[in-house]
């Protein structure tokens, strides 16, 4: 019985105009969603936004940045956006399967990616990098069951002096 509002967006329509053929618009969609949420929060006097990213999201983002963008970065548990909004991720230490089990146990509705992803809904090119990364991490966890425990610890145990960047 928590009050909520659904923000009506035109992200898919904008995407059809802005995105090149044969490309996915995952990052475009993500930026647009954040823009709508940030704008809504600022317009309504909110100063904090909770986003439901979990440890699996952080791991996938880390490996995608590492593999495709040449960067060592992931999802911060808390940060302050340029516009002053505080962004928190209260589920960042939870595994995706734990959250799904909690939702099932409490009979909460679960929206599947196929239901909400515009690329999948409307026949565009499906995003493959995240799915491939998710599969890679699942295989690694199968071979090394404590993988996510170690990765979570590593996110808080960074040895800056071992990197190539001179400022470290």
114-135 pLDDT, tens digit per residue, is 666 666 655 556 678 888 999 9
Would strands 78-80 and 48-50 be described as parallel, antiparallel, or unpaired? unpaired
pLDDT at 22: 63
Secondary structure E strands in the chain: 48-50, 78-80, 86-88
CA distance 124 to 16: 10
**CA distance readout (Å), 3 to 34, 49, 82, 102, 164:** 20, 15, 28, 20, 49
Position 21 scores a pLDDT of: 66
pLDDT per residue, tens digit, the chain (168 aa), is 888 888 888 887 877 777 766 666 777 788 888 999 999 999 999 999 999 999 999 999 999 999 988 999 999 999 999 999 999 999 999 999 999 999 999 998 877 766 666 666 555 566 788 889 999 999 999 999 999 999 999 999 999 888 888 776
Provide the pLDDT for residue 57.
Answer: 95
Q: How many Å apart are CA 118 and CA 55, to the nearest integer?
A: 24
Domains and CATH numbers, the chain: 11-162 (3.40.50.620)
> Quick one: which of 77, 66, 81, 86 has its CA closest to 152?
77
């Amino acid at each position: 019985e928590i009050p909520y509002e659904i923000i009506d967006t035109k992200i898919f329509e904008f995407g059809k105009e802005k995105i090149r053929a044969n490309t996915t618009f995952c990052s475009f969609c993500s930026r647009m969603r954040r823009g709508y949420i940030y704008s809504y929060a600022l317009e309504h006097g909110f100063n904090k936004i909770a986003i439901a990213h979990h440890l699996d999201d952080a791991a996938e983002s880390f490996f995608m940045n590492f593999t495709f963008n040449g960067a060592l970065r992931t999802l911060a548990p808390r940060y302050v956006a340029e516009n002053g909004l505080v962004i928190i991720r209260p589920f960042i230490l939870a595994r995706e399967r734990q959250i799904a089990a909690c939702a099932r146990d409490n009979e909460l509705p679960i929206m599947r990616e196929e239901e909400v992803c515009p690329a999948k809904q409307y026949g565009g090119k499906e995003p493959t990098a995240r799915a491939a990364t998710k599969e890679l991490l699942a295989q690694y966890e199968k071979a090394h069951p404590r993988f996510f425990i170690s990765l979570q610890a590593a996110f808080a145990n960074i040895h800056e002096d071992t990197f190539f960047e001179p400022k470290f």
